[in-house]
Amino acid sequence: MPRIEYSLSFENYLEMTISRREKPKYRAALVSALLGFSLIALGYTYLQIWPDTRTFIGGMFLASGLLATGLALVLAFFAKPKSSRPATKTLRGEYERWHADKRLIEFDENGWRLFWYEGEDLRPWSCLRAIHDQKTLLVLSTETTHYWLPKASLEQSDEIRNIRALAEAALTNRELLFSVPMRPSAAVFVAANFLHNWRRNYKTILLCYAAAMLLTYWLLFADWNSTPPSTPWFLALVPFFFIFCEGLYYLRNYFFGNWSKSPQNVEVRSDCLCYKTESVHWIAKYRHLEKVNEIPSAFLLYFEAKTFHLIPKKGFSEEQILQFRKLLSNAA
């Protein structure tokens, strides 16, 4: 049984934490939107209080508010994910407290055993759920734990091929039924996100829509008083405009998403789904499914309540769709 002694370097730890808490930054867009709404309200109030004196000032407020609101939409549309990783000093402190100790791993065809300062951990290969092949690290992941192994130590002992082969075999030793492409069309992506977000947050979304529509009606139609509008149907267009904006947001996510880092195909196996990219190979077992939503063009699989796996139907044959439904119903 090979035994490899190693220590994680600080560079290894930086790679371990490189993507944590990474999400789009909307602060600039939010500030611009709040400024715009404030200027619009200020300009409208000014024109209502002093309608016959210096209307140019009120118009300037309104124009500036509209400009700032439009700028907020542009900033939100082009916002990119940024890491909110702590400062290097904080990371070095975390590394020295919890990751700088000497460790040892041994493995064979049955599993692996890891020794570190707190004790030891024995895992069979059957509990492996993912392999992350990073720049300086080979990461074995179970449902609860990540095992970070520096490639330099594995290569020095000439065991990196052996442990990688055993790990790959553990993920693929299940019957392969068929494989289908993963990338959806823009329409399928938008429809799936509408379904997911409205089912999960319908109360919050309805409240936000109601508040936005009331504000819009107040800003645009407050001068009607007793005179009815010449085009009352325009009132009905306001909610559809906000729904259109929500759809644009999903389209933005679709066209600006980095699809090259996503799996191109999913392997449907007897007890799991198997995904693979250039750096990650992982499985999701049917028995962990919490919920399944099916729309005419795709399956939405929930292994966690907040996120879903989107599998388009365009790559399935009729027989494969029936077989896949049966697998999902048996898991449920």
Reported as a single tens digit per residue, the pLDDT across 111-169 is: 999 998 778 999 999 999 999 999 999 999 999 999 999 999 999 989 999 999 999 99
Whether the Cβ atoms of residue 191 and residue 308 lie closer than 8 Å to each other: no
Low-confidence ranges of the chain (pLDDT < 50): 226
DSSP state of 276: E
| Domain 3-20+85-173 top-level CATH class | mainly beta
For the four alpha carbons of 222, 223, 225 and 229, in that order, the dihedral sign comes to: negative
One-character DSSP codes across 55-73: HHHHHHHHHHHHHHHHHHH
Helix intervals (H) in the chain: 10-16, 27-49, 55-77, 88-98, 151-156, 160-172, 186-221, 234-256, 318-331
Tokens (6 digits) for 209: 């829509």
- Give CA–CA dist 10/99, Å, rounded: 9
Tokens (6 digits) for 221: 């139609």
Q: Right CATH number for 179-183+260-331 from 3.10.20, 2.30.29, 3.30.300, 1.20.1530?
A: 2.30.29
Three-class secondary structure of residue 306 per DSSP:
coil
Tokens (6 digits) for 301: 């699989």
What does the pLDDT read at residue 217? 73
What does the pLDDT read at residue 68? 87
Which residues are CB-neighbours of 59 under 8 A, at least 6 positions away? 43, 47
Whether the Cβ atoms of residue 179 and residue 266 lie closer than 8 Å to each other: yes
Widest Cα–Cα separation across the chain: 91
pTM exceeds 0.85 for this model: no
Closest CA to 267 of 329, 324, 330: 324
- Give CA–CA dist 126/140, Å, rounded: 12
Q: Beta strand pairing status for 298-302 and 176-181?
A: unpaired
Domain with CATH 2.30.29 in the chain: 3-20+85-173, 179-183+260-331
CA distances in angstroms from 216 to 77, 117, 175, 234, 237, listed in the order given: 21, 62, 57, 12, 11
